[in-house]
Amino acid sequence: MVPRRPTHTPSPGLPLVGLRSNAVELGRTHPAQYRSKPGHGPACAKPIAALNAHAGPNLLFSEFQTKTQSVIHHDGAKMVGIIFDCDGVLADNEKQSCASWLPVLERRGLRVNIEDIEPFIGKSDAALIEAFKQRGVPDLDDDALQEREQEYFALVRGRLKAFPGQIACLEALKHDRIPMAVASSGRHEKIAFTLGEVGLSGFFDAISSSTEVPNGKPAPDVFLLAANRLGIAPAECWVVEDSLAGIRGARAAGMTAVGFASTYEVSSLLQAGAHWVFAHYDDLLKSVKTR
């Protein structure tokens, strides 16, 4: 019998954001100081620009993003219910979600930077594990997933925030009896913890995880599962996603893909196939009211 890896203590010194720079506290500056231009990264302080430079074109983290203009083109899309991604959509946590993998991989002999994790934003843990197994990382098993979750829990506990206008939007949707579901690449334990931290546990009629389906995003499986649990036809669902993989999965499911510009810029979300994009939850609510 192979002995189980001993219980570990989450890494105490891991910074919450931006592992490429010590300038992470700049992200706490009032967002009105920053301005995004269409098709470009945030025109802000140089340390933050450098922080995002390694992540690939048009990748933002919402803490550094400015009040980008929403691009709304409904194209007559019918909506009966809404399916939300979790990380980066219902909680401002994409950077912490990425960062929580770093100590897990380091304990297995591979030191990586956060930009090595960013290509897996929106994808399943299985996709990341398979990629790093191909790089020769041993012991990426259930123990590794549990360790990663404990690292994530330690990073975000008591620190997560809802996005501006988010709770008011969800309250209005619930008041109007619009069915809502969560479809996330994360495990159910991580989803439940995240929703609890931002006070959203009671809003959703169904929660689906990529761990329940054969293929993770950008495959449509988890979205189709969520629609089935809501009892709504795919063509009558809007999917709110911040990731490119999620947008592609929503399109593959035959749903209306609604981009939330918290992680990627508007231009990247539209290029990935988003029918339209919003940057503030007020705009999502207005779109629902005027659909």
Dist CA 76 CA 224 (whole Å): 21
The 10 Å Cβ neighbour count of residue 138 is 11
Compute the half-sphere exposure of residue 251: CA atoms within 13 Å on the CB side of its CA. Answer: 16
CA distance 179 to 203: 9
Q: Is 75 a catalytic residue?
A: no
> Cα-flanking dihedrals φ and ψ of residue 241, to 5°?
-140, 145
Question: Distances from the Cα of 138 to the Cαs of 117, 125, 149, in angstroms?
Answer: 17, 15, 18
Short-list 82, 98, 102, CA closest to 90: 82
- Chain centre to alpha carbon of residue 233: 24
**Coil, strand or helix at 258:** strand
- Report, in angstroms and rounded to the nearest whole number, the Rg of the chain calculated over CA atoms: 18
Catalytic residue chosen out of the listed positions 75, 85, 125, 282:
85
Q: Identify the three-state secondary structure at position 16.
A: coil
User: In which element (H, E) is residue 256 found?
Assistant: strand 256-260
DSSP state of 5: P
Question: In angstroms, how far is CA 168 from the centroid of its own chain?
Answer: 20
Query: Helix-strand-coil percent breakdown of the chain, rounded to 5?
Result: 40, 10, 45
Helix pair angle (244-252, 221-230), 10° resolution: 60
Show the DSSP H helices in 4-156 as ranges. Answer: 46-53, 94-99, 102-106, 114-117, 125-134, 142-156
Active-site residue set: 85
